[in-house]
Amino acid sequence: MINIILPDNSVRQYPEGITGMEIAKSISEGLAHNVLSVLVNDEVWDATRPIRTDAKIRLLTWNDEEGKGTFWHSSAHLMAEAIELLYPGAKFGIGPHIENGFYYDIDFGDKAISSEDFPKIEAKMQELAKENQVFVRKEVPKAEALDYFTKKNDEYKIELLQDLEDGQITFYESGHFTDLCRGPHLPDTSAIKAVKLLNTAGAYWRGDETRHQLTRIYGVTFPKQKELTDYLALLEEAKKRDHRKIGKEMELFTFSQKVGLGLPLWLPKGALLRERLEMFLKKVQKKAGYQQVICPHIGNVELYKTSGHFQKYGESSFHPITTPVPGEEFFLKPMNCPHHCEIYSYKPRSYKDLPVRIAEFGTVYRYEQSGELHGLTRVRGFTQDDAHIFCTPEQVKDEFKGVIDIVMLIFKALDFKDFVTQISFRDKNNKEKYIGTDENWEKAEKDILEVAQERNLNYVIAPGEAAFYGPKMDFMVKDALGRKWQLGTIQVDYNLPDRFELEYIGSDNQKHRPVMIHRAPFGSMERFVAVLIEHTAGQFPLWLTPDQAIILPISEKYSNYAEKVLQFLNNSDIRAQIDNRNEKAGKKIRDAELAKIPFMLVVGEREETDGTVSVRKHGQGDLGPQKLEDFARFITGEVAKELGEIN
């Protein structure tokens, strides 16, 4: 008999070789009907895979992210089976699940596949799903696996096999299809009821632009048709909120082929929006004791060799910059932290000086492949709201609290209400891949967990997900469409202080290593603005929006009064502009609505005589006439409410 620990920490005994599905049936037939896979000692397994030792388990359903992952991974196999039947000779690369659905990279030979082929593939997938095909896991010797794919003439699977050893290789069979795969998979295909293929893209084999380009087909499946219908409606709404579309309409940013792919150009309104975000955070940081610094955009290659970033980002960085001096090379900086380590070390430090909090809006550069670039969310040059705290081990807990407080202020000011905190700890069964002492790790992990509890955060613990240099906390935010984004990270680092030999003199008059904390509440300004645009559909909070009001004279005759209104608003720190075009008022109002300007101030003869403006609110319509002083007080009051304690 083996001991099985359930999520409520109760222990049940079962025969050795019991499966997750059989455990589910022993609890309830209804539960068993919904089980897709099982978490066994923090690893996702097939629900039909035998468990032969004592284990802690969690039965996974569609309501679990891991359950959805299993569902979509099996759907990728189902799509591959349908394609192999419809297009004999197709060769398959990799086919993982992703956050919302799955994809498979496929070599169709001379056949060009487009969305016009999707209905045929979808129909075949649904036909195969109705056969209730069972997914069968088989451990296969390497020689046998190579023989199978050699006979199949699939060079992609053969290459993947070269990196594996005997004992690591498993096949999954379902219906007519056999794939090299580590799993896990559904018990069978019967749960897959609704199918939709979404789009195709080019994908270089193994991400190497010098290799063959495969066709990547994206798809999504659901256990109910209604869920697919709702998801497709969500995709349509997402298209309307696409930051690239809204950014163009609102004239926030643009890209230029001449400047280079992945290098955004911030237009005046976008620059103003970004500047306000930076000013907002600088104000918060100043109150929290941060010191602002500025570092160059390049550094000597030796700096990044010392930090380890040359080894880590060398392949994804721009080529080193050579100078006339033999052997001298510079690097476009991929991270800000090495420079900040040098700032910390420019003079001796005492324990009385700590914590030292260094902040910078620092631009960094990574050479992302052209196929991976996407608007502002994936670029080659981006600015991080980077800060590094150098502190004693005893100060880690309080510094974490301070950073969390800053993140909470940001989320409140920008109306991000739905978020989960992921706390990543080291794998205690594999400590050799981490640096730092057990004592420091255990203290840091204990401190972070206590802070999460004291701040009443909704958190999950991710064992084994810590960086090699220390535990971390990530904030996973849901936007208005329910999509998850990582916004904000706090990381403890025992590595860089060692690499840079950072020191402080302790109260014992001895030298000690400081602990380094990395934090970036926004992450990168580019990605944060993209998420914010899509979350708000361009309707930014009043304190942040580039134009808070637009003045609409009903004819040229009232342009002078419009200028007086503009001057008054500017003097009241209200951002406004005038639409002086020779257009009818209705046209100007429609254009202002499309530009998502919060308030429209119509001025004509009556307004000029009374010293008022006729106020319209975006999305709501006419609010009636107001004195300029009253409108200014109203705007100032609304901004104060939004920013709350930050003012």
Contact present, 625 and 614 (Cβ < 8 Å)? yes
Shared-domain flag, residues 16 and 126? no
Determine, yes or no, domain membership for 423: yes
Please state whether the peptide bond connecting residue 7 to the residue before it is cis, i.e. omega within 30 degrees of 0. Answer: no
**Three-state DSSP state, 104:** strand
Q: How far is CA 325 from the centre of its chain?
A: 41
Shared-domain flag, residues 346 and 457? yes
Determine, yes or no, domain membership for 389: yes
Task: Round to whole Å and give the CA distance between 218 and 98.
Answer: 10
Shared-domain flag, residues 581 and 623? yes
Q: What is the CATH number of the domain that holds 22?
A: 3.10.20.30
Residue 37's nearest CA partner among 53, 23, 16, 27 is 23
Determine how β-strand 621-627 pairs with β-strand 612-617. Answer: antiparallel
Beta bridge partners of 375: none
The per-residue pLDDT for 351 is 95
Of 513, 536, 559, the residue that ends a domain is: 536
The per-residue pLDDT for 77 is 96
Express each pLDDT in 67-90 by its tens digit: 999 999 999 999 999 999 999 999
pTM (two decimals): 0.82
Shared-domain flag, residues 76 and 12? no
Determine, yes or no, domain membership for 522: yes
Shared-domain flag, residues 319 and 432? no
Of 222, 240, 258, the residue that ends a domain is: 240
Contact present, 179 and 156 (Cβ < 8 Å)? no
Shared-domain flag, residues 204 and 167? yes
Determine, yes or no, domain membership for 210: yes
Q: What is the CATH number of the domain that holds 588?
A: 3.40.50.800
Cβ neighbourhood burial of 325 (10 Å; 0-12, 13-18, 19+): exposed
Listed as ranges, residues in the chain with pLDDT below 50 are none
Q: What is the CATH number of the domain that holds 453?
A: 3.30.930.10
Residue 107's nearest CA partner among 226, 205, 183, 223 is 205
Segments forming the whole domain that contains residue 109: 67-240
Determine, yes or no, domain membership for 257: no
Shared-domain flag, residues 386 and 461? yes
Express each pLDDT in 175-213 by its tens digit: 989 999 999 999 999 999 999 999 999 889 988 888 899
The per-residue pLDDT for 462 is 87
Determine, yes or no, domain membership for 256: no
**Three-state DSSP state, 301:** helix
Among left, alpha and beta (phi > 0; psi -120 to 50; other), residue 375 is left
Determine how β-strand 253-254 pairs with β-strand 37-40. Answer: unpaired
Shared-domain flag, residues 387 and 409? yes
Shared-domain flag, residues 343 and 314? no
The per-residue pLDDT for 388 is 96
Shared-domain flag, residues 498 and 595? no
Of 13, 28, 61, the residue that ends a domain is: 61
Task: Round to whole Å and give the CA distance between 439 and 461.
Answer: 20
Task: Round to whole Å and give the CA distance between 130 and 122.
Answer: 12
Shared-domain flag, residues 409 and 521? yes
Contact present, 423 and 452 (Cβ < 8 Å)? yes
Determine, yes or no, domain membership for 149: yes
Residue 160's nearest CA partner among 226, 107, 210, 206 is 206
The H or E element spanning position 254 is: strand 253-254
Return the active site residues.
337, 366, 384, 386, 388, 472, 518
Contact present, 109 and 90 (Cβ < 8 Å)? yes
Contact present, 613 and 603 (Cβ < 8 Å)? yes
Number of domains in the chain: 5
Shared-domain flag, residues 527 and 557? no
Determine, yes or no, domain membership for 176: yes
